[in-house]
């Protein structure tokens, strides 16, 4: 099977780029309430590159999901800003169809997080100018969104159990625990013993190799919803070997950057589930293509997160209105990450653990200017880089 347009969301053809009056890149740093550890790194704050694109009185915002470091993905906030300035902003031109803009961005290899930030800001801007919610611009219907929480690696099993207990109390629909070598089978066993019935999964962020098949097989008894990215961040082939040997469904995160990657993974049998992070695959449109393809192959998908501020989180929320997103994602309450956010409304769970779509046009979130100022490290005006 090759890439075809049948997976394309229908309406990008009728979207055109409006006249742009300003573009600004703003780097913020928001301290985490508690540090967040994955197998490869620990973050104690979220440093994010934000993009604001203005057309007259309207502003669209995008958040680049890259970190300042290359410990989750090779892209960084600095590499993204470079690509955005030198190669993406010059492609933005009034009257260009969005489809053409996306095709031209395809000539820039990789750099998906940089592309997504601009794609997101433009879609938010266009939706706001049309006075429609982002999901409606994408042809998707409003619905309540399932919640899920991703619990970082802890120092002790007791700390982990306390965090899981808190999540269960809050009615999160699904709990993900991070694992790594030395903090895996016994840690999962402890959580499963205390919470026999919750939807539980584990994310290894690539910490294992194909030689660990027998060890990873030990996880099969815990009825996990899935194991996420057990092998290398760039591997698809060995995951197909692993999936044949273990019962637990494998889910790919880091290895999937495009529809082509998703097709490779599904055709090889490398995973039974896909984590779609729109920021990791180049934006909402590519995310929807992957979702449509996965649905056609009976592969469930869910929306991952990158500990985004309220701007990026809002895109993940709108994305999950697509019917292919049948598994709860990594979409959690704002206050579990940050003491305060730079947008309102913040994300909260209702009594049954659901999240509602913010009201209003575009993503529906408003920037809190004073909070944004408080957490801004630096900003740069990119308007002069637009081609006349």
Positions 149 through 208 that interact with Mg ion (CB under 5 A):
203
Positions 251 through 280 that interact with Mg ion (CB under 5 A):
253
**Residues 63 and 117: beta-carbon distance below 8 Å:** yes
26 membership: H or E segment, kind and range:
strand 22-38
CA distances from 139 to 26, 135, 168, 187, 323 (A): 30, 6, 33, 42, 11
Measure the CA–CA gap between 264 and 357, rounded to whole angstroms. Answer: 33
Number of H helices, E strands in the chain: 13, 13
Positions 45 through 84 that interact with ligand OSB (CB under 6 A):
72
**C-beta closer to ligand OSB: residue 85 or 272:** 272
- Considering 46, 112, 183, 277, which one is annotated as catalytic? 277
**Residues 353 and 173: beta-carbon distance below 8 Å:** yes
| Cα Rg of the chain (Å, integer) | 20
Least distance (Å) between residue 239 CB and ligand OSB: 15
Told to judge if 96 belongs to the known catalytic residues of this protein, a careful annotator would answer no
Q: Token digits for 270?
A: 């490398």
Measure the CA–CA gap between 119 and 169, rounded to whole angstroms. Answer: 37
- Residue 284: helix, strand or coil by DSSP? helix
Fill in the per-residue mask, 25 to 44: x = in contact with ligand OSB (CB under 6 A), - = not in contact: -------------x------
Q: How many residues bind Mg ion (CB under 5 A)?
A: 3
74-110 CB burial, b ≥16 within 10 A, e <16: ebbbebbbebbbebbbebbbeeeebbbbbebbeebee
Q: Is there binding between residue 205 and ligand OSB (CB under 6 A)?
A: yes
Q: Is there binding between residue 307 and Mg ion (CB under 5 A)?
A: no
- Pick the stretch among 286-294, 300-308, 356-364, 366-374 that binds ligand OSB (CB under 6 A): 300-308
Positions 122 through 141 that interact with ligand OSB (CB under 6 A):
none
Enter the DSSP assignment of 129: H
Told to judge if 180 belongs to the known catalytic residues of this protein, a careful annotator would answer no
- Considering 46, 176, 178, 183, which one is annotated as catalytic? 178
Q: Is there binding between residue 308 and Mg ion (CB under 5 A)?
A: no
**C-beta closer to ligand OSB: residue 55 or 205:** 205
Pick from 119, 207, 307, 341: which binds ligand OSB (CB under 6 A)?
307
Please choose which of ligand OSB, Mg ion, none residue 49 contacts, taking the beta carbon within 5 to 8 angstroms, the exact cut-off set by kind. Answer: none
- Which positions touch ligand OSB (CB under 6 A)? 38, 72, 150, 203, 205, 253, 304-307, 330, 332
- Which positions touch Mg ion (CB under 5 A)? 203, 228, 253
Catalytic residue numbers, as ranges: 178, 277
């Amino acid at each position: 099977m090759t890439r075809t347009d049948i997976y394309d969301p229908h309406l990008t053809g009728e979207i055109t780029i409006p006249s742009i009056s300003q573009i600004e890149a703003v780097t913020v740093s928001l301290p985490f309430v508690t540090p967040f550890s994955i197998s490869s790194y620990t973050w104690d704050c979220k440093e994010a590159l934000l993009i604001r694109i203005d057309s007259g009185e309207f502003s669209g915002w995008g958040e680049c999901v890259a970190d300042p470091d290359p410990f989750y993905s090779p892209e960084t906030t600095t590499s993204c800003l470079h690509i955005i300035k030198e190669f993406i902003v010059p492609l933005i031109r009034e009257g260009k169809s969005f489809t053409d803009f996306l095709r031209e961005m395809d000539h820039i290899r990789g750099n998906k997080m940089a592309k997504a930030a601009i794609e997101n800001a433009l879609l938010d801007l266009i939706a706001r100018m049309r006075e429609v919610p982002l999901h409606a611009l994408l042809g998707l219907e409003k619905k309540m969104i399932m919640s899920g929480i991703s619990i970082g690696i802890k120092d002790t099993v007791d700390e982990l159990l306390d965090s899981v207990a808190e999540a269960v109390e809050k009615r999160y629909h699904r709990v993900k625990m991070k694992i790594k070598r030395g903090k895996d089978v016994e840690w999962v066993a402890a959580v499963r013993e205390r919470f026999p019935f919750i939807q539980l999964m584990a994310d290894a962020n690539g910490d294992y190799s194909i030689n660990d098949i027998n060890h990873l097989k030990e996880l099969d008894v815990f009825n996990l919803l899935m194991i996420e990215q057990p092998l290398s961040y760039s591997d698809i082939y060995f995951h197909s070997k692993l999936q044949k040997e273990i019962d637990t469904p494998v889910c790919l995160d880091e290895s999937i950057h495009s529809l082509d990657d998703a097709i490779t993974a599904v055709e090889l049998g490398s995973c039974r589930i896909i984590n779609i992070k729109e920021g990791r695959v180049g934006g909402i449109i590519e995310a929807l293509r992957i979702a449509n393809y996965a649905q056609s192959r009976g592969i469930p998908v869910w929306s991952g997160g990158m500990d985004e501020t309220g701007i990026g989180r809002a895109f993940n929320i709108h994305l999950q209105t697509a019917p292919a997103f049948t598994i709860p994602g990594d979409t959690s309450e704002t206050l579990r990450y940050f003491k305060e956010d730079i947008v309102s409304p913040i994300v909260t769970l209702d009594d049954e653990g659901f999240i509602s779509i913010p009201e209003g046009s575009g993503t529906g979130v408003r920037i809190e200017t004073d909070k944004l100022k408080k957490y801004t490290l630096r900003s740069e005006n990119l308007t002069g880089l637009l081609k006349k």
